[in-house]
Amino acid sequence: MLGFPSIVIVFFSLLVVSQLILSYTKFGLYVYAIGGDRQAAERMGIDVAKVRLGTLVISGVFAGVAGLVTLGRLGSAVPTMGAGLLLPPIAAVILGGADLFGGSGNMIGTLVGVLILGVLQNGLNLLGVDPAGQLVAQGVVLMLAVLANVAGRD
């Protein structure tokens, strides 16, 4: 569609939907409130269990979409296919400015984090660094982002 791969279109569609939900709905406000302080959110009358269940459902739907996109791209599926792919998304979210302790962050920041990691991985590929070295580099970037996040709280 319009010369873009379908995976890019799906990614940006989910990004926009997520940002709209987080920015313009009560549910998004509740997610931020619960992430900031769960007990305070409960005291304010937010049904924490329901919001947490909703976030898990949304996460499951997004994981299903990711699985379908991967299936379409690779032509096969294995239940453990993404088992080693937990570090990059966490690193992207933290690099994008989300607080490790909850209550802040947005999808645009996550997009910036994804782009930073993509440029890093592409650069390391061009330099001929093996996948293990790339994982180490991502881990170092994640550690630096976590240190900056924790140091910024003080």
How would you label 93-132 residue by residue, b for 16+ Cβ within 10 Å and e otherwise?
A: bbbbbbeeeeeebbbebbbebbebbeebbeebeeeeeeee
Tokens coding 3 = 């010369």
Mind listing the pLDDT tens digit for each residue in 23-74?
899 999 999 888 888 889 899 999 999 999 999 999 999 988 988 888 888 8
Residue 122: which residues within 8 A CB-CB, separation 6 or more? none
Structural domain spans, the chain: 1-83, 84-154
In the prediction, which pLDDT does 84 show? Answer: 74
Task: Note the pLDDT tens digit of each residue in 60-116.
Answer: 999 889 888 888 888 887 878 777 777 788 888 888 878 777 667 788 888 888 898
Alpha-carbon torsion angle 119, 141, 86, 73, nearest 10: 10
**Cβ 56 vs Cβ 34: under 8 Å:** no
Token pair 């962050």: residue: 105
